[in-house]
A and B are shown apart, each in its own frame.
Chain A
Amino acid sequence: MSEIPSDLKYTSTHEWVREEEDGTLTVGITDHAQHLLGDLVFIELPELNGEYKTGTECCVVESVKAASDVYVPVSGEVIAVNDALVDRPELVNSDPYGEGWLFQINPVDIAELDELMDADSYEEQFAGNED
């Protein structure tokens, strides 16, 4: 069973979002997603200070068997990227909600966050039937 922390928000494309105290959002991919992808070998991070709209592709996670796009969960400007992943993409596998975070975003409209799923509905709809 994959881990789905209850204090995070989720998207149907398997990103998680954490609202930080300063109002910025930290984004990563879920434990379920990293499990499906397998061992990650390369992560193409989004451009720092790039502005992205909700649902647009902003980075790529590549495993030995697949490469998947990561979509921006909430419109905004990318204010930080996790440079540690350049040399250690496996952090996404070992700690998807911690050291394996992908990027931080300064949202245009924080209310967009309410449109994302909570842990229960993500589990029910997208991460339930796992081997």
Chain B
Amino acid sequence: MPFIPHTPEDTKEMLAAIGVNSIEALFSEVPSALRANTFNIPDGLTEMQISQLAEQRAAEDSGVSCFIGAGAYEHHIPAAVWDIATRGEFMTAYTPYQAEASQGTLQLLYEYQTMMASLMGLEVSNASLYDGASALAEAILMAVRANKHAKAKRVLLPITVHPNYRKVVRAIVQQQGIELVDVAYNKQTGCMVIESLQTFNHQDISALILPLPNFFGLIEDVDSLTNWAHSQNIMVIAVVNPTAMGLFKEPGQWGDKGADIACGEGQPLGIPLASGGPYFGFLCCKLDYVRQMPGRIIGRTTDLEGKPGFVLTLQAREQHIRRSKATSNICTNQGLAVTAATIYMSLLGYEGLRRVALASYQASHQLLAKLVQIPGVQQVYKSTYFHEFIIRLPYSAGEILQELAKKGIQAGYLLSNDYIGLEDCILVCVTETKTPQDLTNFAQQLAAILAEGKAC
């Protein structure tokens, strides 16, 4: 059989079977604004011409200084990371189907799990998931299965969790009878306050999501929030930036008993921004909940001759055995991205990660100090923050961002689409990649634009 997915006849037959006239009609529910109708590429270009065109277009994206974080973070990636990750031996996107034949891949994933579990201060990690947002959705499904005290399948989801994560979570869990309850933040601090949670005392709730940092870059009072949740038999799901673990307390240490599950986006650990992906999600938990964990888990064992080896373990949870009752039916992991993250973590070590976090923390605080000196620029929340902060601009933030982009500065993420009350506010991120000159340039350019804006 030739390796041709389907002939025009096959396509016709399949369309007829589902009662759709054309492929175009199949996608008709996708709004046209979201569809890439044309890439403006003339027909019949040679390989050389198409490379030149691609290079030209790629150049339009380079040379800008990026201060947009909002869930995806630019960090320096040592050259060795991708040099090693792209070796032929690692070139597979998945855990292999004949898993135990690929001891190298399994060993790498095992080491990834060890590093991730230790970074989160929890006992178990899986071999990764699709991305941060879907990892949070899986963590919620897991908590609803695991929390035997709760029957109502209600989950507290603070609105300081990344807006995109909340959308993805809603899409995945809402059809499964799970109710997501918004938790408001305090308008002065930008963080959750324990008083607003106490309205949920003695209610039937499966889990509380705790972001660190939250979407505004702020550090929530995770200790008292975790203790409150546990006092109400509510499980705690941490959704964290792994880089921040270099400076702030890991989920396993939150409160008296520690968060029960930790998840998040693994991209900051050596994965380039690359127009939005591929990234990977991580998921860790206490040993008590391992059988509710989705995804693959690699274990270490000894073979019949007593030699050490690596295996896929606890497979009875998974879809190829448990079918519709599996703990997850999206076990996809992101092998290549995880390979890079494992190499990144092993090259940096804990001390290296701490320095990356500290340098990002310091640079962001230096930039904010410069920005608030500009007339009309205000810091919105005075709470402790990691490497992102919100400033309010004196007039249309959208226009100011456009002006800065013309000067080669992607200055931040516009918050007005996601949050009421944060009109003309932007979320600015600074990592260790920004030099003191970059920070000065940002402040000078913004000051100049605002001075001009006032003039007219």
Identify the A interface with B (CB < 8 A): 41-42, 44, 47, 62-67, 69
A47 to B322, CA, bound (A): 21
Minimum distance in angstroms from A81 CB to a CB of chain B:
13
Across the interface, B316 reaches (CB within 8 A) one of A47, A67, A69, namely A67
B318 closest partner in A (C-beta): A67
Interface assignment of B6: CB less than 8 Å from any CB of chain A: no
A44 closest partner in B (C-beta): B291
B148 closest partner in A (C-beta): A47
Contact call B321/A66, Cβ cutoff below 8 A: yes
Chain B 316-357 per-residue mask, 1 if CB under 8 angstroms from chain A, else 0 = 110001100100000000000000000000000000000000
Which secondary structure dominates chain A's binding surface? strand
Q: A62 with B316: in contact, given A42-B291, A47-B148 (CB under 8 Å)?
A: yes
A45 to B317, CA, bound (A): 16
Given contacts A42-B291, A64-B316, A65-B316, 6 further A-B contacts (CB under 8 A): A42-B316, A62-B316, A66-B321, A67-B316, A67-B322, A67-B325
Minimum distance in angstroms from A7 CB to a CB of chain B:
32
Minimum distance in angstroms from A59 CB to a CB of chain B:
12
Residues from chain A with Cβ under 8 Å of B291 in the complex: 42, 44, 62
Contact call B148/A66, Cβ cutoff below 8 A: no
B326 closest partner in A (C-beta): A67
Chain B 144-176 per-residue mask, 1 if CB under 8 angstroms from chain A, else 0 = 000010000000000000000000000000000
A42 to B317, CA, bound (A): 11
Residues from chain B with Cβ under 8 Å of A42 in the complex: 291, 316
Minimum distance in angstroms from B185 CB to a CB of chain A:
36
Contact call B148/A67, Cβ cutoff below 8 A: no
Contact call B321/A65, Cβ cutoff below 8 A: yes
Contact call A63/B316, Cβ cutoff below 8 A: yes
Minimum distance in angstroms from B387 CB to a CB of chain A:
42
Can you give 13 A-B contacts (C-beta < 8 A)? A41-B316, A42-B316, A44-B291, A62-B316, A63-B316, A64-B316, A65-B316, A66-B321, A67-B316, A67-B317, A67-B321, A67-B325, A69-B325
A47 to B316, CA, bound (A): 21
A67 to B325, CA, bound (A): 10
A41 to B316, CA, bound (A): 10
A69 to B148, CA, bound (A): 18
Contact call A66/B325, Cβ cutoff below 8 A: no
- B291-326 residues with Cβ-Cβ distance < 8 A to A are 291, 316-317, 321-322, 325
A64 to B317, CA, bound (A): 11
Minimum distance in angstroms from B152 CB to a CB of chain A:
16
A63 closest partner in B (C-beta): B316
B317 closest partner in A (C-beta): A67
A69 to B316, CA, bound (A): 12
B316 closest partner in A (C-beta): A67
A63 to B317, CA, bound (A): 11
A61 closest partner in B (C-beta): B316
Minimum distance in angstroms from A31 CB to a CB of chain B:
21
- B272-298 residues with Cβ-Cβ distance < 8 A to A are 291
A41 to B317, CA, bound (A): 12
A69 to B325, CA, bound (A): 10
A47 to B148, CA, bound (A): 8
Minimum distance in angstroms from A61 CB to a CB of chain B:
10
Residues from chain B with Cβ under 8 Å of A47 in the complex: 148
A57 closest partner in B (C-beta): B325
Interface centre among A41, A42, A47, A69, by most chain B C-beta atoms within 10 angstroms, is: A42
Residues from chain A with Cβ under 8 Å of B316 in the complex: 41-42, 62-67
Minimum distance in angstroms from B304 CB to a CB of chain A:
15
Residues from chain B with Cβ under 8 Å of A64 in the complex: 316
A115 to B325, CA, bound (A): 28
A42 to B290, CA, bound (A): 12
Minimum distance in angstroms from A69 CB to a CB of chain B:
7
Residues from chain A with Cβ under 8 Å of B322 in the complex: 67
Residues from chain A with Cβ under 8 Å of B321 in the complex: 65-67
A47 to B321, CA, bound (A): 24
A72 to B225, CA, bound (A): 39
Minimum distance in angstroms from A66 CB to a CB of chain B:
6
A41 to B148, CA, bound (A): 21
- B90-138 residues with Cβ-Cβ distance < 8 A to A are none
Residues from chain B with Cβ under 8 Å of A41 in the complex: 316
4 closest Cβ contacts across the A-B interface? A67-B316, A62-B316, A67-B322, A66-B321
Minimum distance in angstroms from B113 CB to a CB of chain A:
20
A41 closest partner in B (C-beta): B316
A42 to B148, CA, bound (A): 18
Minimum distance in angstroms from B285 CB to a CB of chain A:
16
